[in-house]
Amino acid sequence: MRPLLAVFSLVLCALWQTGAARAADSVLAETVDRFDHLQPGDAVAISGRALSAGRFTCTLKTGRAAPVRAGDEVVGLFFEGEGAMEYVSTDPVEAALVLFDTRKGSGLKAEKTDRGVVVRDTFRRLLWIARGTPVPEVSGAPAASLANSFRKEREKFGRMHAAPLSHDFALQKLNDPAAPLVWAEMDGGKEDLVYELDRVDHPSEALLLLHPSESRDPELRKFLWPVALSHQPVGRDARDPAPPRFLLTAVDVDLTATAGNDAAMTVTETFVPVGAPLSALRLDLNGLWYAQAGANLGTRAEKVRAVTDEAGRGLAFDHRGDELVVALAEPAAPDRPIRVRFEIEGDFLIRPGGDAYWELGVSSWFPQPYLGEQAYTFHAVVRVPPPFVPFASGTTVRREVEAGRNVLEAQVDRPIQCAVILAGKYVTHEEVRDGITIRVATYALENESSMKGLTNVAAEIIAFYRGFLGPFPFGQFDIVEINDYGYGQAPPGVMFITKEAFDPLIGDMNQLSARGIARTFAHEIAHQYWGVAVRIPSYAEQWLGESFAEYCAALFLKARRGEAVASALAARWRRGASFAADTVPIPMASRVYVADDAVQRTEIRRGLLYARGPLVLDALRRELGDEAFLDFLRAYQEGFAWKFGSTKSVAGLLEARTKKDFMPFFERYFWGLEMPKN
Ligand SMILES: [Zn+2]
């Protein structure tokens, strides 16, 4: 797909230079408006028609159909009657997942065949719209109007918790008008389904199931929630991460918070188109935030006020469904950086449980592309009213009081993902250990002994990892207490950790709880190597963060807390992995869906990433031998720190070092369902 895309885009670029095309801003607004307001034409009777796109086929047995217009252009048809669909997943990596999710999460049957995994359903209504590929013609004897039925269908699918379909059609028109894009909505069968073939920026095909909210909360029940029963790449091996369409290479945030819920920020972002010119950007940005308000959830808003380019020109944008599409004033040339400035405000500072802190954490709190397109340096200036103290990913440039506000300026010079900002009523303790500034921030109360204890544990773990993984990725490391229980998180240069870690007995390693905290600390600190320095290009590669961090934590426990602690952890892995046995392979962990059973979904996901993954690494260690295994981890860090990692590159480096092909090993244990024996 890449070479094709480049050819089309060059043609597009030439058109623009001759002035034959309209300015991108009006194209975005017009296309979005037209596809938001699709209109059915006169209905006719039809029978025995077949429609197909990619690996998807619809049969319209008998019924009525009407052409569907976006503005003046006929872009598809709407059908009501007796219909059936068939979808084939030919991607071997997702085969087990398609079977599992369909069985556990839908009323449909998926069947393994010579052609791949086949999913079938019937439907009463079908909306089919397409660009870059022929639109099905509608002709026949006049029939009763479909206008009402069409309106109801659109209302229903408009409740899908996702960006509007008009975004995809606008991106197609702006970035690659020759690329096929097909969107089909089906209802009245066993399930409500959406099919999409999108060959624009990340060519793929997907079959989505829409289900009502499992929550009782009225805000969440407004939506229909999509689950991808299948999401297969087009023209690419699913074992390779999708190539980036562009890279986000620098983020500069200037944020001012009020003492209440409000924040205003300016975010300047640098983008570099990869391989082909780019006319529009697709970015994730939360629009709605949820916060507890009495018994139910209330919503908060994050709003984009303006988007401008380097020349100060206002750029057209559309921000809906947590997605922001921006039209550039002219196509950006490949491999040349452009800067875009976003003015954002809203009441999106949420204090969990009314506590005295808020967190802009690992979600899309500023405009950000897909994981595999994030590799940015980060600079932030954060202003908050006292007594709140701000924290951010990166090294502190300055910390001072300015116009009555606590101001933090922080900087990361390496390309990262998932930068965070947090502020709250914190007391901090700072110490330099082996050249690394370790800062422990406790919530609400000064807690001298736990601060010292945690600094010691962190310094011990960092020293251990430096011994075999190489230099610690950051010169400063913040450990921030979160007023909750039971989890840790590891954004770049920061660890969020819940309050059980701040137990004053933490320094006493005879305590069982202290061992648990040491394990959590060891896992979260390892993430600075695995998941931060080595970046994760897609959710399919999450094990490079979770399983590798977990395994390194086990190495720490074994070396510093004794064999018994390490074997207790290994026993936990075997139990955890048994929850995930015979389900789906490790790369599909985050796509597991079991209807109405969030507990089982979580157990399987955890079982794959935090248990089966470490067992695979343990099998690798036994195969290589202890020393060669540690040397390999270090070599991977040397080769892939501050780059995107991938399982294929893990296999490649293993082969380079051992002269043995390791792809069969990962085919069995990573892309396959096999559990290593031990
Ligand atoms: Zn983790």
**CA–CA separation, 119 vs 101, rounded Å?**
11
What is the secondary structure of 431-473 as a DSSP string? EEETTEEEEEEEESS--HHHHHHHHHHHHHHHHHHHHHH-S-S
CA dist., res. 308 & res. 328, Å (int): 9
Do strands 476-482 and 494-498 pair parallel, antiparallel, or not at all (unpaired)?
A: parallel
CB 333 within 8 A of CB 17: no
Task: Please state the separation of Cα 57 from the chain's center in Å.
Answer: 29
Contact 166, 183 (CB under 8 A): no
Cα dist from 193 to 48, 87, 353, 448, whole Å: 21, 11, 37, 56
Centre of ligand 1 from the C-alpha of residue 225, in Å:
26
Q: Which residues contact 365 (CB under 8 A, 6 or more apart)?
A: 286, 302, 348, 421
Ligand 1 centroid vs 531 CA: distance in angstroms?
A: 8
Q: How far, in Å, from the CA of 638 to the mean position of ligand 1?
A: 21
Q: How far is residue 306's CA from residue 39's CA, in Å, rounded to a whole number?
A: 31
| Ligand 1 centroid to residue 393 C-alpha, Å | 17
Q: Where are the beta strands (DSSP E) in 385-446?
A: 389-392, 395-402, 405-416, 421-424, 426-433, 436-443
The pairing of beta strand 181-187 with beta strand 192-198:
antiparallel
Q: What is the pLDDT of residue 445?
A: 76
Q: Rounded to the nearest whole angstrom, what is the distance from the C-alpha of residue 153 to the centroid of ligand 1?
A: 41
- What local confidence, expressed as pLDDT, does residue 85 receive? 98
What spacing in Å lies between the alpha carbon of 605 and ligand 1's midpoint? 12
CA of 629 to the centre of ligand 1 (A): 21
Task: State how far the Cα of 309 lies from the Cα of 315, in Å rounded to an integer.
Answer: 7
Give dist(CA 560, CA 554) in Å, integer.
10
User: How many whole angstroms from 343 Cα to the centroid of ligand 1?
Assistant: 32
**Residue 627 Cα, ligand 1 centroid: separation in angstroms?**
25
For residue 668, report the distance from its CA to the centre of ligand 1, in Å. 24
Give distance in angstroms: CA of 329 to centre of ligand 1: 41
Query: 3-class SS at 359?
Result: strand
How many H-runs (helices) and E-runs (strands) does the chain carry?
15, 31
**pLDDT at residue 554, rounded to an integer:** 94
Q: How far is the CA of 522 from the centre of ligand 1 (A)?
A: 10
Helix runs in 18-55, H state only: 24-36
Cα 475 to middle of ligand 1, angstroms: 21
Cα of 598 from ligand 1 centre, angstroms: 19
Question: What is the Å distance from ligand 1's center to 432 Cα?
Answer: 25
Asked whether the bond before 387 is cis by omega within 30 degrees of 0, the reply is yes
Distance 520 CA to ligand 1 centre (A): 9
| Measured distance CA(660)–CA(118) in Å, rounded | 36
CA 526–ligand 1 middle distance (angstroms): 8
Identify which of 244, 277, 260 has the alpha carbon closest to the alpha carbon of residue 16. 277
Checking DSSP bridges between strand 374-384 and strand 246-257, what pairing results, if any?
parallel
Residue 471, judged by CB atoms within 10 A of its CB (0-12, 13-18, 19+), counts as middle
Measured in Å, residue 609 CA sits from the centre of ligand 1 at 9
Tracing tokens 């995930």 back to the chain, one arrives at: 580
CA distances from 230 to 55, 91, 112, 140, 149 (A): 11, 9, 14, 35, 28
How far does the centroid of ligand 1 lie from the alpha carbon of residue 530, in Å?
9
What is the CA(361)–ligand 1 centre distance, in A?
14
Classify 434 in phi/psi space as left (phi over 0), alpha (psi -120 to 50) or beta: left
Question: φ and ψ at 154, to 5 degrees?
Answer: -65, -40
- Three-state DSSP class for residue 597: coil
Give me ligand 1 centre to Cα 545, in Å.
Answer: 7
Q: Are strands 116-131 and 73-89 parallel, antiparallel or unpaired?
A: antiparallel
Instruction: Please check whether residue 533 is in contact with residue 552, taking contact to mean a CB–CB distance below 8 angstroms.
Output: no
CB 431 within 8 A of CB 438: yes
**CA 457 to ligand 1 center in whole angstroms:** 18
- Torsion angle, CA of 539/540/544/546, rounded to 10 degrees? 60
586 CA to centre of ligand 1 in angstroms: 15
- Which segments within 188-245 are labelled E, that is strand? 192-198, 204-212, 224-233
Residue found under tokens 């290593």: 676
Closest CA to 340 of 356, 357, 316, 323: 316
* Mean pLDDT, contiguous 10-residue spans, the chain (678 residues): 30 35 79 98 97 98 98 97 98 97 96 97 98 94 98 97 97 97 98 97 96 91 96 96 96 97 98 97 96 88 98 97 97 97 97 91 94 98 97 96 97 97 94 95 81 91 97 95 86 90 58 74 96 97 97 94 86 91 94 93 95 97 96 98 98 98 98 89
* 612 to 395, 518, 526, 559: CA distances (angstroms): 35, 21, 18, 22
Taking the centre of ligand 1 as the mean of its atom positions, its distance from the CA of residue 624, in whole angstroms, is 25
Going from the Cα of 487 to the center of ligand 1, the distance in angstroms, rounded, reads 9
Task: Report how far Cα 482 is from the mean position of its chain's Cα atoms.
Answer: 23
CA distance linking residue 189 with residue 405, whole number of Å: 58
State in Å: Cα 494 to ligand 1 middle: 13
Q: How many whole angstroms from 178 Cα to the centroid of ligand 1? A: 41
400-403's contacts with Cβ under 8 Å and 24+ in sequence apart are none
CB 380 within 8 A of CB 257: no
| Euclidean distance between CA atoms 155 and 589, whole angstroms | 32
> 489 C-alpha to center of ligand 1: Å?
7
CA 535 to ligand 1 center in whole angstroms = 13
For residue range 226-281, what is the model confidence (pLDDT) as tens digits?
A: 999 999 999 999 999 999 999 999 999 999 999 999 999 999 999 999 999 999 99
For residue 348, the CA-to-ligand 1 centroid distance in Å is 26
Q: What local confidence, expressed as pLDDT, does residue 448 receive?
A: 79
CA contacts within 13 A on the Cβ side of 325: 27
pLDDT value for 566: 81
Number of other CB atoms surrounding residue 485 within 10 Å: 8
Query: Which H or E run contains 191?
Result: none
Q: Which of 523, 558, 535 is nearest to 629 (CA)?
A: 558
Q: How far is the CA of 523 from the centre of ligand 1 (A)?
A: 6
CA of 224 to the centre of ligand 1 (A): 30
CA 510 to the chain's CA centroid: 40
> How many Å lie between the centroid of ligand 1 and the Cα of residue 610?
8
Report d(CA 658, CA 632) in Å as an integer: 10
150 C-alpha to ligand 1 centroid (Å): 46
> 366 alpha carbon to ligand 1 midpoint, in Å?
22
Helix (H, G, I), strand (E, B) or coil at 136: coil
Q: How far is the CA of 542 from the centre of ligand 1 (A)?
A: 9
Distance 550 CA to ligand 1 centre (A): 7
Residue 424 CA to residue 433 CA, distance in Å, equals: 25
Query: CA-CA distance, 252 to 411, in Å (whole number)?
Result: 9
- Cα of 491 to ligand 1 centre, how many Å? 10
As a whole number of angstroms, the distance between CA 299 and CA 289 comes to 6
CA of residue 527 to ligand 1 center, whole Å = 7
Interval between CA 293 and ligand 1 midpoint (Å): 30
Distance 493 CA to ligand 1 centre (A): 14
In the chain, % helix, strand, coil (3-state, to 5) comes to 35, 35, 30
CA 490 to centroid of ligand 1, rounded, Å: 7
CA 380 to centroid of ligand 1, rounded, Å: 25
Residue 549 Cα, ligand 1 centroid: separation in angstroms? 6
